[in-house]
Amino acid sequence: MTAALPGLRTTPFIDGAFADVGGAVESLLDPATGDVIASVSPASEAQAVAAIGAARRAFDHGDWPRMPVFERGQVLAAIADAIRARAEDLALLECVNGGKPLTGARREVAGAAKVFTYYAGAMDKFYGDTIPVSETLLNFTLREPLGVVALITPWNFPLLAAAWKLAPALAAGCASVLKPSPLTPLSTLLLAEIIESCGVPKGIVNVLPGGAAIGELLASHAAIDGISFTGSTATGVAVMRAAAGTIKTVALELGGKNACIVFDDADLARAAKAAVSSAFGNAGQSCSARSRFLVQRSAVAAFTEAVVDEIAHLKLGSPLDPATTLGPLISVEHWNRVDRAVQAAVQGGAPLVAGGRRPDDQKTGNFYLPTVFGDVSPDHPLSRDEVFGPVCGITAFDSEADAIRLANASDYGLNGSVWSRDLGRALRVAKAVRTGMVAVNGLPSASSTSLFAPFGGYKRSGLGRELGINALAFYTEVKTVTVDLS
Ligand code: NAP
């Protein structure tokens, strides 16, 4: 075991209390050292069913869904404050459990608190309409809480992903059962304790550390009304299938293969800085990572040089060192997956510009050098498949139409960037790309993503939007009321 972790909780949180024991104990490893940091009891199937039952009771008979929205909002504001009060504990858990550089982990914790602050004041601004159906009928709609929601989160942004789902779910008056990734459950379990301490009634928030079987159970269970899932596209397909049997409302935040389009009139130094920050932030383990650099042919050499210069400024090392900007990959298995994709590209003849291996000075831990391939063809696996590691490829384009065609030649449609000093051209391209989000001459990072704006993807990158006022649409049902005035 490494140093004691303040706020360590290791068992399922069900009906307002941490269970004494779950199923068999599983060890969590520090991705930077390989040391065991904690032993977690994953939820058993019986515990998952108990959590769903507790959420159902709390929703069907409890106070939370019936509380005035302003009062619920005040509880969310208290949760935001309580997260800020435990910020260092949460950041340390994200850092040691997820391998996140501490500085970035602190930003993510601040972002999680901000989400609760945002939704604390959101629900009294999200209401129904009055619809002029006829002179003799008064017709209006009500927004009512969706019910019991299952929330399934991945390992790459565990606390943020939990906050993005729990805050609007709580604001809307839903009850929830949250399953974090078994690789990174610690910050979510501490979040459950924080939420409970702020007066959220028992049963409204339940957290089940556990694997795919628990996720499947949640996705198919008849007592769950809706499911908000963040993870890979392949698992999203399985979740949608499982949810179909009981016609659940489904929201999916899935993978991405995002393009960063750079025209030759762009500020290449700024574009390269942003491209590197996006491709290698969180060690490339981000759905929004721009891993396809589409560069106008005349600028390829200069842009590649600028990217290599920028990479030299990344500081790879212990996530606990506040100066570190590039931490390890989440697990040995994931390191092997990333390396397999890189070695296949090398063997296939893709020109390696930087990286492609473990750093010489990191003998332990799941570290991988920031890796860039030049001249990657558009149909190469590096252009199509999400590697989910610090790996990107540069592809040349010749015209605006060519850039748009290449950007859209992907099954994914999550995020992207356009760089050009010709704002008309930049905006034409931004409109033409089939992605849920696009940045023009700049790059909002994950933790500074605006809470006011919708976040989500087109095509196989997902269904629905998180954040912003739109997210409340998922966590509510619309009821139409018609009054006969005659
Ligand atoms: P994943 O393998 O799809 O897992 C996501 C979650 O689903 C985990 O908690 C996982 O548990 C669970 N799960 C697995 N099989 C399931 C099933 N059949 N039914 C229900 N739940 C199931 O994804 P990941 O590897 O954790 O995360 C990386 C992926 O997430 C990437 O593709 C990334 O792009 C995507 N992502 C998207 C966004 C976005 O906002 N669009 C944000 C972050 C990440 P187990 O771990 O036990 O399998």
Any catalytic annotation for residue 392? Answer: no
Separation of alpha carbons 229 and 252, rounded Å: 5
**Of 235, 250, 288, 387, best ligand 1 pocket probe by most atoms within 8 Å of the beta carbon:** 235
187 ligand 1 Cβ < 6 A: no
Q: From the alpha carbon of 235, which atom of ligand 1 is closest?
A: 3
235 ligand 1 Cβ < 6 A: yes
Flag residues of the chain having pLDDT under 50.
Answer: 1, 446-447
- Confidence (pLDDT) at 24: 81
Q: How many CB atoms lie within 10 A of CB 208?
A: 31
The predicted-structure confidence for 211-264, as pLDDT tens digits, reads as follows 999 999 999 999 999 999 999 999 999 999 999 999 999 999 999 999 999 999
Q: What spacing in Å lies between the alpha carbon of 34 and ligand 1's midpoint?
A: 22
- Confidence (pLDDT) at 353: 98
Any catalytic annotation for residue 287? Answer: yes
239 ligand 1 Cβ < 6 A: yes
> What pTM value is reported for the model?
0.96
Compute, in degrees rounded to 10, the torsion defined by CA atoms 167, 170, 175, 179.
Answer: 10
3-state secondary structure of 231: coil
Q: What spacing in Å lies between the alpha carbon of 230 and ligand 1's midpoint?
A: 6
- Confidence (pLDDT) at 145: 98
215 ligand 1 Cβ < 6 A: yes
The predicted-structure confidence for 270-292, as pLDDT tens digits, reads as follows 999 999 999 999 999 999 999 99
Separation of alpha carbons 176 and 154, rounded Å: 17
Tell me the HSE value of 167 on the side-chain side, using a 13 A CA sphere: 31
Cβ atoms of 240 and 103 closer than 8 Å: no
Given 26, 196, 253, 466, the catalytic residue: 253
216 ligand 1 Cβ < 6 A: yes
